[in-house]
Amino acid sequence: MQPRLWHKLLIIPPVAVGLAVVALVVSNKPAPARKPPQEAVQGVRVLTVRPLTFTPRITGYGTVRPARIWQAVAQVGGKVARIHPQLKKGTILKAGTEIITIADDDYRLAVAQAESGIRALEAKLNELAASEENTRTLLRLEREALAIAERDHARKQELLRRGTIPQTTFEQSLKTLINQRKLVATLENTLRLIPVQRRELQAQLDSARNQLASARLNLERTRIILPFDARIAKVDVEVNQFVPAGRLLAQADGIAEAEVEARVPLQRMQSVMALLAGRTMRDVRLTNEEMQRLARQFGLHVEVRLPGNGNGSPVWKGRFARMSDTLDAQTRTLGVIGVVNDPYGHVRPGTRPPLTKGMFVRMDVLTRPLQDTLLLPRVALRDNSRVFVADAENRLRIRPVKVRARLGALVVIGAGLKPGERVVLSDLAPAMRGQLLKPVEDDAMWQRLKMLANAGTGE
C-alpha cells in the first residue's frame, strides 16, 4: 500500500511547476488594444430618381354592343308581299337593301285619287280665271253704256225743263239709267267675289296636294329599306302575313361602330383626371363636359382586347365617347363608354374575331404619354407625404413631397424630389435624421418601375 501512495505523490511537483509557468506567461502578456467606438451603419435599398415617360391607363371590363340599333316598324298596314331572301338572324346586309315589301295596291289607288282631285281643282281655278277675264271685259263695256245712258238722261232732263218732251219720256230714260247702273254694280260685285273664290279653291288645292304627298309617303312606306350596313338581329314576319301599322318586323345592328361600356374604379378615374388637370381629387368633376374637354386636350382614347389572352390578344383601338349615367355605389365603379370603328374589319380566323355584340372584353382608357414624369413605388412613400432620402454623404434625410396622383403601386411626384436623388425603400425602425446609411441600388425595383410606367396601370 505504501509504494502506491508514494507513486501518486510524485505527480504533484510537475503540476505545480506547470501552473507556475502558466501564471508567469499570463501575467507578462500585453493587454489587448482598445479601438475607439464606431458609428453604426444601416444597410438600405435605394432607388435613384429618374424621369420616365408615363401613359396613365384606366382599366375596366364590359360587354360590346352596337353603336346604332335600327328597328323595322311597319308605318302602314297591309299584307306582306315580299321578304328579302337573306333577311335572317346574323346576316350582314348593305345599306339600301329592301328587306320587306308590303302590298301597295291600296296605296297606289290613293295616290291616283289624290292626283285626280288636284287636276279637278286646277281646272276650276283655270275656269275662274277665264270667268274673271270675261267679267272684266263685260264690265268695261257696261261702264261705257252707263256713260252713254247718263249723258242721254241729262239731255232729256234739260228738254223736260224746257217742256219739249213729255214726262213719260224722261222717266223712261231714268229707268234705263238705273238699270244700267245696277248691271255695272252687279259685275263689280262679281269681280270682288272672285278673289274669295280663288282663295277657297287654292286652299282646297293645297289640301289635295297634302293628301297626295301623304298618299305617296304611305306608298313609299310599303318598302322597308335598310338605312345603313347592318347585321340582322331579329326577324318577326312572314310572307302573306297581315301586319298593322306600328308592328315590329325586324331589328338590325349597325356594323360601322361598336360601343363598349366598361366599369372602371371611381378612385382610379379621379386620380388620373386629377393628374391630367393638375388638380386635387376633391376638385375633379367627372362630368361629361369636363371629360370631353380633357379628352380633346390630352387625347383620351381606348384600347379593347379580349381578357386573359396576354400580349397575344388582338387589340381594337377606339375613341373615348362619353361617361355613362350610372354609378355603382356598392362597387364604387362608374361606366365609361368607348367607340370602336369597323368592329367587323380585319378579321383573321383563329386570331382576330369580329368585335360582336355581347362579347365580354377588357377596355383600357389611355392618354397621350406624359414626358419626364417622376415616379416612385408606393412603398417609398412614408406617412402619405414624405420620403427617406440618402444624401451625398449617405446620411438619412426626411423629405416632404407633393404627390400628384396615387395609381395602384405607383405614385407620381409633383414636387420635393429631383432627378438623381436616392430614395430609401427599406423600412427603418427607428428612422433618425442624419443616421449613416449603406445604400444598395435596387435594380429589380427599377426594372419593375419601368415596366409599370410602360404598362401605365400602376398595378
The strand order across the sheet containing 78-83 reads 223-225, 98-102, 78-83, 242-243
d(CA 444, CA 442): 6
- Model confidence over 266-309: pLDDT tens digits? 888 888 877 877 766 566 677 778 778 878 888 889 999 998 76
Domain ranges of the chain: 43-54+371-455, 59-65+256-368, 71-101+229-254, 106-220
- Model confidence over 55-110: pLDDT tens digits? 888 889 999 999 999 999 999 999 999 999 999 999 999 999 999 999 999 999 99
Q: Which residues of 319-341 are buried (b: 16+ CB within 10 A; e: fewer)?
A: ebbbbbeeeeeeeebbbbbbbbe
CATH of 43-54+371-455, one of 3.40.640.10, 2.40.420.20, 1.10.150.120, 3.40.430.10: 2.40.420.20
Residue 62 pairs in a beta bridge with 262, 361
pLDDT at residue 16 in the model: 62
d(CA 432, CA 244): 86
CATH class entry, domain 59-65+256-368: mainly beta
Work out the number of other CB atoms within 10 angstroms of the CB of residue 196. 9
Q: Is the pLDDT of residue 411 over 60?
A: yes
d(CA 412, CA 278): 12
Note if the pTM is more than 0.85: no
Fold type of domain 106-220: Helix Hairpins (1.10.287)
* Own/partner long-range contacts of 439-446 (Cβ < 8 Å, ≥24 apart): 439/44, 439/45, 439/46, 439/390, 439/394, 440/43, 440/44, 440/45, 440/46, 441/45, 441/46, 441/47, 441/48, 442/45, 442/46, 442/47, 445/45, 445/47, 445/377, 446/47, 446/48
CATH of 71-101+229-254, one of 3.30.1330, 2.40.50, 3.30.565, 3.40.50: 2.40.50
420, three cell numbers: 438623381
CA distances from 425 to 25, 403, 421, 440 (A): 54, 17, 13, 10
pLDDT at residue 283 in the model: 64
Q: Give the residue among 68, 69, 95, 73 at the shortest CA–CA distance from 249.
A: 73
Task: Report the range of poorest mean pLDDT among 103-107, 113-117, 431-435.
Answer: 431-435
pLDDT at residue 1 in the model: 44
